[in-house]
Amino acid sequence: MIGKFKTFLLLSGSDVRPFLYLLVLFGALVPILNLFTPQDSILHLSDYHIALFGKYLTYGLLALSLDLIWGYCGILSLGHGAFFALGGYCMGMHLMREIGPRGVYGDPVLPDFMVFLNWTELPIAWYGFDSIIYTSLMIIIIPGLLAFIFGWFAFRSRVTGVYFSIITQAMVFAFMLAFFQNNLGFGGNNGLTDFKDILGFSLQETNTKLVFFLLSVVALGIGYYLSKKLINSHAGQVTTAIRDQEDRVRFLGYKVENFKLFVFVISGVLAGVAGALYVPQVGIINPGEFSPIKSIEIVVWVALGGRGTLYGAVIGGILVNLSKSYFTVYFPEYWLFFLGALFVFVTIFLPRGVVGLFYDLINLKNKKGVLSNV
């Protein structure tokens, strides 16, 4: 068993196929257990679990996006939740426009919260979000544009280390405060919710939930594949060198800022896509997603799973949120204490995360085997 797991770890370090095979297997297993098992069976997965697993996959993609810049470029962002939330708001705005006259107030154009606040016309920022094509473009463009603008100024100013982490957290905190304002036109502290359908398909239908689950599987698979190809490319090797010896890379004539900016933008786009797939599966998006605590949680996911491995970050994102689902139900008052203790424990005792621990255990077993043969 350990030998097979060792083979998987070694292959996953250089090959995308083992991870993608497992992802495809999981993506096929969930619909089968939902559609083809009796509802009273212990193997049956309810519609609730489909949406829950889909949410976990979006968290995995979000963790992967952070690992891309932190694990391979050495850039610790404490504001990555901003890209996730912006992608989510783009999708939420489209879903609100899809409601049309079926809202509480029956307005064919204005969402209910705007009618309640006595708005008379749709804000310019909402134009175009009635189109799924326009929305899909904005899901990529808006987080990517924010990452480009923020990264351009930060990297050109050579802001690094803890200073970069601080300003990213200041950025996400500023977004949170702004989106809490009702006059901004994004639902204030209540956010966007009460979604009904997309492209004419009810979000409460089993088939729609399965489609979004499968889209999450595909998005995570594509994100992992592209990230792996990027890391294994020449640009990825330069990026890793920047993480380890930035000054030397700069002296060799490479435009360090350009490489950092490129990876940062890709990371922001992946986070935005994760947010867009997250919203229809949980049914709400609000300013709480901009909370600095949320962004710090993402760092914990990556650290727990194993920074600089990609698949380790995905594992960390899923494991932590599985634990969160359990603790918030049975021990809601202690969840944040558990999360903080987990981060301290990982930082001190598992600096390479869960994946690093398995590597160490496998290497220890191999050493014992060699010694026993001497």
pLDDT for the residue numbered 354: 82
Q: How far apart are CA 327 and CA 62, in angstroms?
A: 21
Q: Answer yes or no: is pLDDT of 8 > 70.
A: no
- 14 compared with 90, residue with greater pLDDT: 90
pTM of the complete model: 0.91
- Report the pLDDT averaged over residues 361-374: 54
Residue-wise pLDDT for 320-339, tens only, equals: 998 888 888 788 788 778 87
Please report which helix (H) or strand (E) contains residue 198, including its range.
strand 197-198
> Which SS3 state, helix, strand or coil, does residue 79 take?
coil
Count of structural domains, the chain: 1
> Any idea which of 14-23, 96-105, 241-250 has the lowest mean pLDDT?
14-23
Q: How far apart are CA 127 and CA 179, in angstroms?
A: 18
pLDDT for the residue numbered 360: 66
Residue 368 pLDDT class (50, 70, 90 cuts): low
Domain membership of residue 320 as a residue range: 2-373
- 122 compared with 359, residue with greater pLDDT: 122
Q: How far apart are CA 135 and CA 179, in angstroms?
A: 19
Q: How far apart are CA 261 and CA 130, in angstroms?
A: 32
- 302 compared with 17, residue with greater pLDDT: 302
Amino acid at 44: H
- Report the pLDDT averaged over residues 199-212: 95
Residue-wise pLDDT for 42-72, tens only, equals: 889 999 999 999 999 999 999 999 999 999 9
Q: Answer yes or no: is pLDDT of 373 > 70.
A: no
